[in-house]
Amino acid sequence: MTKTKQNIMLTPGPTPLPPEVLAALSRPILHHRTEAFGEMFQFVLDAMQRAYMTKNRVLMASASGTGAMESAVVNLLSPGDEALVYSTGAFGDRFAAILKAYGLSPVVISEEWGHAAKAEKISDALKRHPKTKVVFLQHTDTSTGVLNDIKDLAAAVHANSQAVIVVDAVSSLAAEEFRMDEWGVDVTLTASQKGLMNAPGLAFAAISERAWTLVQSARLPKFYFDWKTYDRSLKARETPYTPAVAMVAAQAEALKLIEKIGLEGMWKRTAELADYTRTWARKNGLAIFAKDPAHILTGVRLPEGVDGSAMLAEILREEGISIADGQLSLKGKIVRIAHMGYISRADLDAGFVALEKRLAEVQAA
Contact flag: residue 62 with a copy of itself (CB under 8 A): yes
Query: What Cα–Cα distance (Å) separates residue 88 from each residue in 69, 92, 116?
Result: 15, 6, 7
CA dist 192 and 258 (Å) reads 13
Of 12 and 114, the one with the shorter C-beta distance to a copy of itself is: 12
Q: In terms of Cα–Cα distance, which of 351, 281, 347 is closest to 323?
A: 351
Contact flag: residue 245 with a copy of itself (CB under 8 A): yes
Least distance between a copy of itself and beta carbon 35 (Å) = 7
CA dist 333 and 304 (Å) reads 8
**Contacting residue, 87, 144, 160, 322, with a copy of itself by CB under 8 A:** 322
Of 40 and 153, the one with the shorter C-beta distance to a copy of itself is: 40
Least distance between a copy of itself and beta carbon 347 (Å) = 12
Tell me the window of 118-126, 216-224, 252-260, 344-352 that interacts with a copy of itself (CB under 8 A): 216-224
Contact flag: residue 28 with a copy of itself (CB under 8 A): yes
DSSP, collapsed to helix, strand or coil, labels residue 140 as: strand
Query: What Cα–Cα distance (Å) separates residue 137 from each residue in 2, 122, 163?
Result: 39, 10, 12
Contact flag: residue 346 with a copy of itself (CB under 8 A): no
Strand 164-168 to strand 132-138: parallel, antiparallel, or no bridges (unpaired)? parallel
Tell me the window of 174-182, 199-207, 277-285, 296-304 that interacts with a copy of itself (CB under 8 A): 199-207
Least distance between a copy of itself and beta carbon 357 (Å) = 20
Residue 328's Cβ-count burial label (10 Å; 0-12, 13-18, 19+) is exposed
Contact flag: residue 232 with a copy of itself (CB under 8 A): no
Contact flag: residue 67 with a copy of itself (CB under 8 A): yes
Of 246 and 359, the one with the shorter C-beta distance to a copy of itself is: 246
Contacts for 325 with CB less than 8 Å, ≥ 6 apart: 308, 309, 312, 331, 332, 334, 335, 336
Least distance between a copy of itself and beta carbon 246 (Å) = 4
**Contacting residue, 156, 199, 215, 297, with a copy of itself by CB under 8 A:** 199
Of 29 and 159, the one with the shorter C-beta distance to a copy of itself is: 29
CA dist 109 and 117 (Å) reads 9
Q: In terms of Cα–Cα distance, which of 124, 209, 138 is closest to 167?
A: 138
Q: How many residues sit close enough to a copy of itself to count as binding (CB under 8 A)? A: 59
Least distance between a copy of itself and beta carbon 268 (Å) = 24
Q: Where are the alpha helices (DSSP H) in 13-149?
A: 19-25, 35-52, 65-76, 90-101, 119-128
**Contacting residue, 35, 112, 120, 264, with a copy of itself by CB under 8 A:** 35
Task: Give Dmax over CA atoms of the chain in angstroms.
Answer: 65
**Contacting residue, 40, 58, 63, 348, with a copy of itself by CB under 8 A:** 63
Binding site for a copy of itself (CB under 8 A): 1-2, 7, 9, 11, 13-17, 22-23, 25-32, 34-36, 39, 62-67, 70, 97-98, 101-103, 191, 193, 199-201, 220-226, 240-247, 316-317, 322
